[in-house]
Structure 1
Amino acid sequence: MCSFHIVVDLGSSSGRVLVMDAAGGSTDEVHRFAHTAQEKNAQLVWDIDTLITEVVRGLGKANEFIGHQPATVGIDTWGVDYALLDEAGDRIGEVVCYRDERTTRTSAQADQALEQKKHFSLTGIQPDPITTARQLFAQGVEDGFDGATALLLLPDYVAYELTGEKGWSQAIVSTSALAAPGAGDWAWEVFDALNIPRHLVGEISPERSVVGPITYEGLNNLTVVRSGSHDTACAVHGLRLESTEAFISCGSWSLFGCVNSTPVLSDEAFSRGVTNEVCTDGKVRLLHNLTGLWIMQQCCRNFADSQRESDIATLAAKAATLDSPGVLIDTTDPIFTTPSDYASLIASKLEEHGYPTPDSPEAIVRVVTESLATTHAHALKNLEEVTGRTFTRLRMIGGGVRNTLLCQLTADYCQIPVVAGPQEGTAFGSALAQIETISDTPQNSTALEYSTVTYLPNTT
């Protein structure tokens, strides 16, 4: 029986390695590193080799921390991105970022090859340009698949690098728009319509199953298990949601949704942009994939480039002292998909509509924060209309819980209480799934606990 569980949590702007002591209920972050997509040979790609190096370094630190005792390791990442392998098991080319413009260039062709509503009916996933399916279609059109024998989604690729075991984990597969609703099997009709070779994938494995021992010297006491594979699946797993609770996993993306026993494939779900991704326990996360703090992160980079205040926590605190500007932006506008000078972009868009231009970083942050809160409220209404359910409480997790203004404004616009926390929701859910994988411990009987803060809606 392992008492330590290590979480490798890889987000699209940073990665970290944490140790959960199940006996003591404590969580310790032992390694953190920043990373970002970068331009290389006219593509936006991830520095995947450095990412793997940092993961191994973090696991070494974790192993020292636990005194080289036996432990499990769970790996989660953002969705949709992938690596291709050749016959020898070596990676082919770069790991291209989902924000690369190749999917925009080939979008019309993809729609002709497989109509969007049909794609949704086959997978339960909105066929957005960022999906793995649309990325692979673009790759086939522009580069081809010469020499490729396997396709691994990102958490499975990291697991492969650590263990030598290839796999296809259910939760991350469900984000790809390549699997049947619920991700029990692949949607082969999609492969054929988009000219994606079938031989690139293998059998889908359920979450809470064992991948294998790590083969790196000095890390042989560590065993990788599937503990959710997708960051939002991990985060939701730890919430123990009630039927009247919705959730927001708020980071670069705002993943707004609820848990359902089965996929929802209605015309209304498609038209309202609702998608079906899989939970760690096999249930379905009905959700909206919304642009989230990415806009604010990009604005802060713009502020830094012009030598202005750029610390997001400082700016959020200053923004909370400002009155509502009475001005909103559409955070779902495709213009916020690829990197740009968002601060200037937001200012110019406001000018176009006759509004005064925000004259300080905190004013722009206030506009973005309030706009995100209204987007959350719209998503809540959509979710209630699609499911026929009324949600009385909203659980908010992820980095966004540090922004108290966003939490309060979300409560105000949604007009239901927002329960914020844990900030480390992804790590908590991953550790919980690891415990369940090796011990069959019921979810509600573990010693793992966390604190939350409740924001009540203002009614004035």
Structure 2
Amino acid sequence: MRCLVFDLGAGSGRAMLVELQGETLSIRTLTRFTGYEVRAVDGPAWDIDIIRAGIREGLARAADHGEIASVAVDSWGVDFVLIDVDGAIVDPPRTYRHPRGGVGLSALSAHHERIAARTGLQIIPIATLFHLSQWARDNPEKLAQAEQVLMIADYFAFALSGVARSERTLARTTGFLSVATEDWDDEIVMLAGLPRHIFGPIVPAGTVLGPMQAQWSGPPGLAQTKVVSVAGHDTACAAFALAPLAGEAFAVCGSWNLFGVEVPAGTLPAETGAWGFGLEGGIGSRAVLDRAMPGLFLMRRLRDSWAARGGETLDFPAISALALDADPATPAIAPSDPVFFDPVDMVGAMEGFLPALAGAGIAALARSLYVGLAREAAETIRQLAVLSGEPIHTIRVGGGGSQDVAWMQLLAEETGCEVVAGPVEASVVGNALIQLTALGAIPSLEAAQALARRGAGMQPVTE
């Protein structure tokens, strides 16, 4: 059975064809697309049309491989699209880096403790709650046109199927979902100054929304394709595929680093909010206790900044190797400091933060960044052990960062844990396994996760 995965990251998107034969998953990359983060007059925004074009191309290429049983979309969390009664976009969506998030966070500062206690939200400026509430204050006329708010993956599931639903793991990233009821929290919606009707029905991961709409399903191989609402949040898909056991944490390392553990749904230790953790959606009866931290997008900024200053243009494997050869005594930056939230000139930001780095070469700068990221991860792992009540001895790492040799080595050194890499395409594997379970090709979510833990006989990803 073949299914099609659209895995949307904040930096790029992919269309991946996944086929299950017996207990073997084969994964083929059909197309990649990027360039959908753009600059609006007021700040960074998403160009939905570029993503839509990438999805259309992926569907066309998938049809060349025969019948496609289903399709699903996963994406990063927190960002949203508002649609009107006809399904049209009310206002082009802005990104989580838009400055309105910080304004919204400050506006609701008196309620932070209550928000965290009721929803498990990690109180950070990228959260949907702070962006959406501030957008509503700034745009009352457009708010009046809004019929429903959908997260990014939910919006494209709606575009493909015509059915507008909010998938639970994505809803959990918003700050509007109650820990107690697993439904929208009316009190928090009211605190944010939003109308309740824009928060639509919530569905669990693995819900079949229906057949793909005719405007997408022209090629013969797509005539019977169903649209599945999987774990729309890519982190939840990845955590499902990484399948951590007791004493194990998972990490999804890419533009951002997310470290977490699986816990029973409804679990919210008292220190969660105070320590900067959030409760996110898991699959089935599980939830995810995790922390989002700056990740390897900072290495991308460092590479670009170094080249812009006249330095050699290097690829990431070369930078990784240089960092491992650099002086181990190189001082480390603190990547979560606000100065590194959206640095235009990463070299300058690092030198300003840590004057000892002034005039340093790319090797020392890269090591400083890697070690800083790893030390923040080590503190996160220590706190996760306390929150979960379970010592952590292993970290299972997915995402593109699992291929970075320096990052994996320094992560192991700083945390003292065994670091197990892969699958690299953890979110794709999780997405596909949930689709295949929804269609009955795999008997249960438990069986799907067991398949993932055994490696599912996975063949190398082909381009």
Residue 311 of structure 1 is matched in structure 2 by 315
SS of aligned partner of 1:185: coil
- With the length of structure 1 as denominator, give the TM-score of the two structures: 0.92
Counterpart amino acid of residue 246 in structure 1: A
Higher relative contact order (CA 8 A, sep 6+): 2
- Does the aligned pair in 2 maintain the 1:208–1:280 contact within 8 Å? no
Residue 70 of structure 1 is matched in structure 2 by 68
Task: Please tell me the root mean square deviation across aligned C-alpha atoms, in Å.
Answer: 1.8
- Does the aligned pair in 1 maintain the 2:25–2:459 contact within 8 Å? no
**Residues of 2 paired with 1:339 and 1:350: CA distance?**
15
- Does the aligned pair in 2 maintain the 1:325–1:367 contact within 8 Å? no
User: How do 1:176-255 and structure 2 match up within 5 A?
Assistant: 176-181=174-179, 184-215=182-213, 216=216, 217-218=218-219, 219-255=222-258
Call closer, same or farther: CA 1:182–1:163 in 2, change over 3 Å: farther
- Does the aligned pair in 1 maintain the 2:165–2:200 contact within 8 Å? yes
Deviates more, 1:174-183 or 1:241-250: 174-183
May I ask how many residue pairs the two structures share in their alignment? 443
**Residues of 2 paired with 1:369 and 1:61: CA distance?**
38
SS of aligned partner of 2:292: strand
User: How do 1:259-278 and structure 2 match up within 5 A?
Assistant: 259-278=262-281
2:331 paired with 1:333: no
Distance apart, 1:307 and its partner CA: 4.4
2:146 paired with 1:138: no
Deviates more, 1:421-430 or 1:321-330: 321-330
- Does the aligned pair in 2 maintain the 1:182–1:284 contact within 8 Å? no
Residue 104 of structure 1 is matched in structure 2 by 102
SS of aligned partner of 2:146: coil
**Residues of 1 paired with 2:139 and 2:286: CA distance?**
36
**Residues of 1 paired with 2:156 and 2:296: CA distance?**
25
**Residues of 1 paired with 2:410 and 2:175: CA distance?**
33
SS of aligned partner of 2:279: strand
Call closer, same or farther: CA 1:106–1:25 in 2, change over 3 Å: closer
- Does the aligned pair in 1 maintain the 2:129–2:176 contact within 8 Å? yes
| Structure 2 stretches lacking a partner, 5+ long | none
Give the percent of matched residue pairs that are identical in Structure 1 and Structure 2: 28
Distance apart, 1:326 and its partner CA: 3.2
**Residues of 2 paired with 1:429 and 1:183: CA distance?**
26
**Residues of 1 paired with 2:409 and 2:180: CA distance?**
34
**Residues of 1 paired with 2:204 and 2:359: CA distance?**
49
Distance apart, 1:434 and its partner CA: 1.1
Call closer, same or farther: CA 1:59–1:282 in 2, change over 3 Å: farther
Counterpart amino acid of residue 457 in structure 2: E
**Residues of 2 paired with 1:451 and 1:236: CA distance?**
20
User: How do 1:139-154 and structure 2 match up within 5 A?
Assistant: 139-144=135-140, 145-154=143-152
SS of aligned partner of 1:332: coil
**Residues of 1 paired with 2:289 and 2:102: CA distance?**
26
Query: Over residues 422-455 of structure 1, what are the superposed CA-to-partner deviations in whole Å (9 max), with x where a residue is unaligned?
Result: 1111111111111111113422257823499xxx
Residue 430 of structure 2 is matched in structure 1 by 429
SS of aligned partner of 2:288: strand
Residue 457 of structure 2 is matched in structure 1 by 449
SS of aligned partner of 2:231: coil
2:256 paired with 1:256: no
**Residues of 2 paired with 1:339 and 1:5: CA distance?**
39
2:394 paired with 1:386: no
Counterpart amino acid of residue 93 in structure 1: D
- Does the aligned pair in 2 maintain the 1:262–1:284 contact within 8 Å? yes
SS of aligned partner of 2:108: helix
- Does the aligned pair in 2 maintain the 1:358–1:364 contact within 8 Å? no
2:320 paired with 1:320: no
**Residues of 2 paired with 1:275 and 1:106: CA distance?**
18
Distance apart, 1:185 and its partner CA: 0.6
| Structure 1 stretches lacking a partner, 5+ long | 453-460
**Residues of 1 paired with 2:359 and 2:254: CA distance?**
24
- Does the aligned pair in 1 maintain the 2:102–2:125 contact within 8 Å? yes
Residue 402 of structure 1 is matched in structure 2 by 403
2:346 paired with 1:342: yes
**Residues of 2 paired with 1:159 and 1:416: CA distance?**
38
Match of 1:287 among 290, 312, 317: 290
**Residues of 2 paired with 1:18 and 1:237: CA distance?**
18
**Residues of 1 paired with 2:252 and 2:359: CA distance?**
28
**Residues of 2 paired with 1:377 and 1:451: CA distance?**
32
- Does the aligned pair in 1 maintain the 2:230–2:431 contact within 8 Å? yes
**Residues of 2 paired with 1:173 and 1:364: CA distance?**
38
Call closer, same or farther: CA 1:451–1:42 in 2, change over 3 Å: same
**Residues of 1 paired with 2:458 and 2:25: CA distance?**
9
Deviates more, 1:47-56 or 1:212-221: 212-221
- Does the aligned pair in 2 maintain the 1:149–1:200 contact within 8 Å? yes
Residue 168 of structure 2 is matched in structure 1 by 170
**Residues of 2 paired with 1:406 and 1:9: CA distance?**
23
Call closer, same or farther: CA 1:302–1:163 in 2, change over 3 Å: same
**Residues of 2 paired with 1:6 and 1:369: CA distance?**
34
**Residues of 2 paired with 1:242 and 1:329: CA distance?**
32
**Residues of 2 paired with 1:295 and 1:356: CA distance?**
16
Call closer, same or farther: CA 1:183–1:176 in 2, change over 3 Å: farther
Counterpart amino acid of residue 156 in structure 1: D
Call closer, same or farther: CA 1:170–1:243 in 2, change over 3 Å: same
SS of aligned partner of 2:439: helix
Call closer, same or farther: CA 1:270–1:405 in 2, change over 3 Å: same
**Residues of 1 paired with 2:419 and 2:296: CA distance?**
18
- With the length of structure 2 as denominator, give the TM-score of the two structures: 0.92
- Does the aligned pair in 1 maintain the 2:128–2:174 contact within 8 Å? yes
**Residues of 1 paired with 2:374 and 2:317: CA distance?**
17
SS of aligned partner of 2:232: coil
**Residues of 2 paired with 1:328 and 1:359: CA distance?**
13
Call closer, same or farther: CA 1:104–1:245 in 2, change over 3 Å: same
Call closer, same or farther: CA 1:29–1:451 in 2, change over 3 Å: closer
**Residues of 2 paired with 1:299 and 1:106: CA distance?**
29
Call closer, same or farther: CA 1:237–1:356 in 2, change over 3 Å: closer
Query: Over residues 325-369 of structure 1, what are the superposed CA-to-partner deviations in whole Å (9 max), with x where a residue is unaligned?
Result: 431111111222224212210022111xxx242522232111111
